[in-house]
């Protein structure tokens, strides 16, 4: 079964190789881009498959030499060692191919829109919201991604009641998608005089950025208003009405964008966010229609689900979805998140592989 899939994939790969050289395809930006995206996604699979076939051929040649009675004992021994080595390599390559053939999340390569909101805990929750934004910004930079703030509602003490920002870069969603949910912090607040530990929460939502063509939006359904920034003031004050508020009448979705100097720029970003939220709604509706869809052990991504605890007294971070605890809180908050994120990706991959083996 697996080799039938691989053979079909290689046929398609060769077909695309020919198609992307045709003048009528090259001149059609949309078609060319679509084919190149498919070609890029198939490349690692085909390269690994071809490596497997080359290794298989080398193993067969070594096996023939082993059976050659006219061969000198020393050469036959070398052929046996070669055969054993190639067979072991085949087993490794087969496992790698199985993982590569797991259906990919089609959103993995996209940019993302991240929203952080103050939860329970008042000002302490807002201060931790600022810590999370700093953590994500540093992690994004370490991955070569760019961040752009779209809306900010901060507090006088430097906390964040709400912030929306984009993470721009190839594969951003694949690294950020497991951050959706409730983040819990346990620490002594700066406002606490008795030294008591307080538990506060912050919610995070991560949405894959949508392309305009993926959702149909009637311009008449969008109410556009100019407004002033809702921040605490100071460096964030917006003295002119350059901020934009969009209301999508059919769904009631409201988007505010206030970080650009011009109203036009804020409107463009707000529309991007609106398309993304509508795309997310569309995806959720489709998922609900598929009753057999598995629920991964790494969580559903629901913002009501507690996913992680940051405990300052013990300097630990615990991800509750994979029961993983690391005692490097300071480094983690400075953007060194890969140890947990890679484990989340590995767990998700294992669940997908399990689903494939069960025919899900």
Per residue, the 3-state secondary structure of 305-354, as one string, reads CEEEEEECCCCEEEECCCCEEECCHHHHHCCCCHHHHHHHHHHHHHHHHH
Residue 235, pLDDT > 50, answer no
Q: What is the pLDDT of residue 149?
A: 93
Q: What is the pLDDT of residue 238?
A: 44
Task: Summarize pLDDT for 40-74 with one digit per residue, the tens.
Answer: 889 999 999 999 999 999 999 999 888 887 778 88
pLDDT band at 358 (very low <50, low <70, confident <90, very high): low
Contact 203, 119 (CB under 8 A): yes
* Percentage of the residues of the chain whose pLDDT score is greater than 90: 49
Residue 355, pLDDT > 70, answer no
Q: What is the pLDDT of residue 136?
A: 98
C-beta neighbour count of 325 within 10 angstroms: 14
Residue 299, pLDDT > 90, answer no
Q: CATH number for 110-291+298-360: choose from 1.10.260.40, 2.60.40.1180, 3.30.70.1660, 3.10.180.10.
A: 3.30.70.1660
Q: What is the pLDDT of residue 296?
A: 43
Domain boundaries, the chain: 2-100, 110-291+298-360
b/e per residue, 96-132, with b = 16+ CB within 10 A? bbeebbbeeeebbbbbbbbbbbbbebebbbbbbbbbb
Burial (CB < 10 A; 0-12, 13-18, 19+), residue 39, is middle
186-200, 230-244, 335-349, range with the lowest pLDDT: 230-244
Which parts of 147-217 fold into alpha helices (H)? 172-176
The whole-chain average pLDDT of the chain stands at 85
Contact 54, 74 (CB under 8 A): no
Contact 292, 360 (CB under 8 A): yes
Q: Residue 38's beta-bridge partner residues?
A: none
Residue 208, pLDDT > 80, answer yes
Q: What is the pLDDT of residue 294?
A: 35
Its pTM stands at 0.70
Measured distance CA(119)–CA(124) in Å, rounded: 10
C-beta neighbour count of 267 within 10 angstroms: 20
Which helix or strand (DSSP H or E) is residue 120 part of?
none
How is residue 329 written in tokens? Answer: 């809180």
Q: What is the pLDDT of residue 286?
A: 60
């Amino acid at each position: 079964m697996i080799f039938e899939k691989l053979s079909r994939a290689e046929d398609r790969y060769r077909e695309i190789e020919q198609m992307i050289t045709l003048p009528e395809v090259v001149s059609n930006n949309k078609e060319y881009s679509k084919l190149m995206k498919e070609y890029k996604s198939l490349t690692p699979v085909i390269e690994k498959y071809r490596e497997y076939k080359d290794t298989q051929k080398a193993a067969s040649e070594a096996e023939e030499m082993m059976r050659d009675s006219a061969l000198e004992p020393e050469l036959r021994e070398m052929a046996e060692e070669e055969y054993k080595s190639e067979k072991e390599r085949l087993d490794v390559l087969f496992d790698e191919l199985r993982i590569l053939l797991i259906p990919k999340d089609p959103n993995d390569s996209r940019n993302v829109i991240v929203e952080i909101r103050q939860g329970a805990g008042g000002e302490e929750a807002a201060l931790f919201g600022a810590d999370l934004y700093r953590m994500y910004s540093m992690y994004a930079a370490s991955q070569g991604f760019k961040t752009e703030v779209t809306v900010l509602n901060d507090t006088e003490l430097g906390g964040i009641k709400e912030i929306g920002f984009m993470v721009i870069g190839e594969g951003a969603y694949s690294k950020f998608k497991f951050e959706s949910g409730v983040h819990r912090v346990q620490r002594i607040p700066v406002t606490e005089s008795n030294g008591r530990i307080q538990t506060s929460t912050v919610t995070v939502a991560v949405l894959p950025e949508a392309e305009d063509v993926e959702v149909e939006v009637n311009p008449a359904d969008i109410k556009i208003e100019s407004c002033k920034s809702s921040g605490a003031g100071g460096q964030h004050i917006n003295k002119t009405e350059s901020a934009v508020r969009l209301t999508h009448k059919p769904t009631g979705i409201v988007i505010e964008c206030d970080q650009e100097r011009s109203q036009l720029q804020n409107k463009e970003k707000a529309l991007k966010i609106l398309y993304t939220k509508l795309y997310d709604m569309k995806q959720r509706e489709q998922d609900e229609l598929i009753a057999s869809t598995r629920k991964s052990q790494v969580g559903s991504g629901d913002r009501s689900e507690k996913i992680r605890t940051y405990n300052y007294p013990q300097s630990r971070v615990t991800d509750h979805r994979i029961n993983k605890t690391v005692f490097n809180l300071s480094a983690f908050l400075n953007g060194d998140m890969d140890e947990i994120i890679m484990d989340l990706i590995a767990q998700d991959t294992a669940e997908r592989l399990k689903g494939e083996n069960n025919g899900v």
